[in-house]
């Protein structure tokens, strides 16, 4: 019988981010990169297997994107991103402060000499 691991809950994720924010950011960036690389590999594989259909999909996507107000969408995304930067920096700073306050104190020289 194999033990099944359940995905971590959001509370576990938040606690791990508070305990080690640098590792959380590094792991998150790694996961996004891996996901993007996998998606690109799948798209490349699809385009190699069915080039005509991939070209038609690309043309349809380009036509739809041309019809959409992309500048407005881009402006909205930039506003949202900049709006989220301040809370993200505050959370990261809070996590680093938490890490410093709850880190075990290093023994002082007086205690080491004794």
Q: Which of 93, 105, 106, 104 is nearest to 18 (CA)?
A: 93
Contact by Cβ (8 Å): 67, 60: no
pLDDT at 104 (0 to 100): 72
Residue of 44, 41, 66 lying closest to 54 (CA atoms)? 44
* Lowest model confidence (mean pLDDT) among 7-21, 24-38, 45-59, 78-92: 7-21
pLDDT bin (cut points 50, 70, 90) of residue 1 is very low
pTM for the full model? 0.49
Q: Residue 24, Cβ neighbours under 10 Å: how many?
A: 17
Q: Is the pLDDT at 41 greater than 90, yes or no?
A: yes
């Amino acid at each position: 019988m194999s033990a099944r691991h359940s995905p971590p809950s959001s509370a576990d994720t938040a606690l791990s981010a508070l305990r080690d924010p640098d590792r959380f950011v590094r792991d998150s960036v790694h996961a996004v990169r891996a996901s993007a690389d996998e998606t690109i590999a799948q798209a490349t594989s699809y385009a190699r297997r069915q080039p005509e259909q991939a070209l038609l999909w690309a043309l349809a996507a380009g036509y739809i994107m041309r019809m959409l107000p992309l500048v407005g969408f881009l402006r909205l995304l930039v506003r949202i991103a900049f709006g989220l930067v301040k809370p993200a920096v505050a959370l990261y700073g809070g996590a680093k402060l938490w890490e410093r306050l709850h880190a075990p104190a290093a023994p002082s020289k007086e205690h080491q000499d004794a």
